[in-house]
Amino acid sequence: NTLEADSPRRLCVLLLGSSGNGKSSIGNSILGKDVFRTSSSVKSPTPCIAMDSAQVGDQTVQVVDGPSILDAKDADEDFIEQIVIAMEKSLTLCDYAFSAIVIVLRFGVRFTKQEVNTIKLVKSVLGENVIKDYGICAISYGDNFEHAVEEAREDGQLLTFEGWCREQSGEVKALFEECNFRCVLFNNRTKDENTKNAQRLAFLKMVNPTKPYSKEEFLKAQTSLNKEIGTERLIHDLEEQTQKIIDNTRSGIQDLSEDSSLQHMDFLLQDLTDQQVILRELGMSSPKLRELIISMQLLETEIRSKMRKKSLVEDNMSLTTPLFKSNSSPTYPKSTFPLSTYGCCEQGLLSHEYARGMGTGSGNMGYTPPVNDWEMVQNESNPFPTVRGHRGVPASGWVKMLEYIWKSIMRYTTKR
């Protein structure tokens, strides 16, 4: 059955469709003989491929019964690879030069996601414009359409196949418009020879033999498909990687406690920001990736909020750190030496009354602490040198205290 690819009267048609839509039966109707085995159960696309030809008038019609494409929405990468191999095997039977690609649909059955994904898969393997340039929609189970015509006539309505095609909506309408309404109805159960010849001739009139598909178009489509598969694989890997970072970050946030350091929080934050930079530089996008990016931004906001709170707590703790520390807390007579709420020594800063009374120079308001207090301060253990100023006040202690207050003010001013 091998024919010359450049024969002007040679027509090669490639049949594609989902299992159970009557693809092989339509192939038999086109050839006018039963040569293709019909089956509603298909486990693999490759074994179903067959080819035969027949003389119709002055034309040699070659029909390739191509792969039965299962529900492509759940197809994994291995199944897609099988489809590509099956498609290429089908194309080699007609030297990559088919004049029409026939998408077989079933009348009376809702156009499902299975057919939608079948069309997408065909366009991915053979080229984006293959349906537009070579597509023909063959509607099987024409006997059911005849019943619909009778019912419409009983209701006083006129139903034609062309009118039915143009009344469709949604994905079916989009498909019919893409192939410029090249649609033909097949009743594969009819025994009437006139009906068989009429539907066969109606189909052949829609085939354009002057500009067949070429191997160059197939190779170009394969280049685009490989790039698309590579992009999809990369996006899938990025989705998994991003989801893992989000899960680890959420777990890390749950494990945070009051004792957690700012450095630990910064590590969690860095993982999120690094992943966002990677996604931004690669420029990859998908609905799931966009959702994951929003999740990362929300987690980043949560971590930054916890870091600010932690920083404020540490600053407050540093401000209440005692300036003078001793192993024993000195006590002073309340009547002669009032204390502020800060206390003294290891309780905090010296009171302003005490500072005023023990200050240097003549501006000390004439207050002289008791001898016992004097000796206690003099012997007090503290981190500063015990060089005494006037009235026994450690001179370097005042300098250190003012220096600490100044640094605290500058640190708060910078943060605000």
Please report the DSSP string for 46-79 in residue order.
Answer: STT-EEEEEEETTEEEEEEEEEE---GGG--HHH
φ, ψ for residue 77, nearest 5 deg: -65, -35
Residue 140, both tokens: 């099987």
C-alpha torsion sign, points 133, 137, 138, 142: negative
pLDDT tier, 100 (very low <50, low <70, confident <90, very high otherwise)? very high
Nearest in space to 175 (alpha carbons), one of 217, 125, 126, 139: 139
What is the arithmetic mean of pLDDT over 310-322? 66
- Choose between 40 and 270: higher pLDDT: 270
**Residue 74: is its pLDDT beyond 60?**
no
Separation between Cα atoms, residue 193 and residue 340, nearest integer Å: 116
Q: Is the pTM of this model over 0.75?
A: no
Report the share of the chain in percent with pLDDT over 70: 69
Nearest in space to 49 (alpha carbons), one of 6, 84, 79: 84
**Residue 223: is its pLDDT beyond 50?**
yes
| Segment (H or E) for 195 | helix 193-205
- Distance, first Cα to last Cα, the chain: 87
Distance set, CA 63 to CA 133, 142, 339, 370, 395 (Å): 18, 20, 107, 119, 108
Contacts of 224 (CB under 8 A, 6+ apart): 124, 127, 128
pLDDT tier, 145 (very low <50, low <70, confident <90, very high otherwise)? very high
pLDDT tier, 382 (very low <50, low <70, confident <90, very high otherwise)? very low
pLDDT tier, 405 (very low <50, low <70, confident <90, very high otherwise)? confident
φ, ψ for residue 185, nearest 5 deg: -100, 135
**Residue 169: is its pLDDT beyond 80?**
yes
Other beta carbons within 10 Å of 1: 9
The lowest-confidence range among 34-48, 57-71, 380-394 is 380-394
Separation between Cα atoms, residue 158 and residue 230, nearest integer Å: 51
Question: Any idea what DSSP says for residue 11?
Answer: E
pLDDT tier, 202 (very low <50, low <70, confident <90, very high otherwise)? very high
Contacts of 284 (CB under 8 A, 6+ apart): 231, 234, 235, 238
Nearest in space to 140 (alpha carbons), one of 190, 188, 69: 188
pLDDT of 361: 41
Question: Any idea what DSSP says for residue 368?
Answer: -
